[in-house]
Amino acid sequence: MPRISAATVADHRANQHAALLEAAREILAAEGVHALTPAAVGARIGLARSSVYRYFASTADILAQLVEDAFPRWSARLRAAIAPDDLDSSLPGRIRAYGRAALDFVGSPDYALIPALQAIGLPGECRVRVDELHGALIAPLADALREAGADHPALRAELAWGVLRAGARRLMPEAAAHIPEPAATDPDDIIEITLDVLTRALHMTSP
């Protein structure tokens, strides 16, 4: 019987699950989705494959659970970023704050989920849930635009997310090899240009 390393069996399982998710995140970020298997995740923390299957049914299940863990965290972070504050409560300022937080996503291990989800086929119900969670990332921007009186705020936010995705791709290390000069390659320049395009794209004139 496995050694219990927490006050209760439930706590032990929760700790094991958290450790497995972190191991999966590290493997995905460092080696890609094809290296992500229940056996590899278990081996990373010294857990037998048979024990790992108590937590994950498959690689697709690992990805689905990583999404459930990561996307709500980033959604909360984006919502906090775009909330009005004493420093800059203007809509352009809030949009820039949201955009910067969204671009921070690129530098996190969680970002590896994006290409992984595109590379592996998820069951239909999982795909629906992923779409819901993706929508939660965009919702804070749509809400801010709605509060400002924008027409079609959800559509505007969805299109704005496309700007952020383009900027995010330019920030990836492998992007430099495929971008012709004299395109911007300095990360700070890419971020500033992306935020400038984002705020201009969402600029609203008074009726």
Residue range 112-157, pLDDT digits in tens: 888 787 777 666 777 788 888 889 999 999 999 999 999 999 999 9
Three state DSSP letters for 80-120:
HHHCCCCCCCCHHHHHHHHHHHHHHHHHCHHHHHHHHHHHC
132: its two tokens = 């819901």
Question: How large is the average pLDDT for residues 12-32?
Answer: 91
Give 48-77 pLDDT, tens digit per residue.
888 999 999 888 889 889 988 998 999 999
Residue 135 CA to residue 109 CA, distance in Å, equals 20
Residue 171 CA to residue 31 CA, distance in Å, equals 19
> What per-residue confidence (pLDDT) applies to 180?
57
Amino acid at residue number 165: R
> What per-residue confidence (pLDDT) applies to 119?
77
User: CA–CA distance from 12 to each of 20, 40, 67 (Å)?
Assistant: 12, 21, 22
The CATH architecture assigned to 1-56 reads Orthogonal Bundle (1.10)
Task: Compute the mean pLDDT over every residue in the chain, rounded to the nearest whole number.
Answer: 85
Question: How large is the average pLDDT for residues 78-97?
Answer: 89
For residues 62 and 41, the answer to whether their CB atoms sit within 8 Å is: yes
> What per-residue confidence (pLDDT) applies to 19?
94
> What per-residue confidence (pLDDT) applies to 138?
94
> What per-residue confidence (pLDDT) applies to 4?
52
Q: Where are the domains of the chain?
A: 1-56, 59-201
Q: Is the pLDDT of residue 5 over 70?
A: no
Residue 38 CA to residue 48 CA, distance in Å, equals 9
Model pTM? Answer: 0.79
* Cβ-based neighbours of 2, under 8 Å, separated by 6 or more: 51
The CATH architecture assigned to 59-201 reads Orthogonal Bundle (1.10)
Q: Is the pLDDT of residue 39 over 60?
A: yes
* Residues above pLDDT 70, as percent of the chain: 87
Question: How large is the average pLDDT for residues 164-182?
Answer: 71
Cβ atoms < 10 Å from Cβ of 65? 18
> What per-residue confidence (pLDDT) applies to 207?
42
195: its two tokens = 């935020």
> What per-residue confidence (pLDDT) applies to 3?
54
Give the CA radius of gyration of the chain: 20
- The C-alpha angle 103, 204, 168, rounded to 5 degrees, equals 15
For residues 122 and 61, the answer to whether their CB atoms sit within 8 Å is: no
Question: How large is the average pLDDT for residues 163-167?
Answer: 92
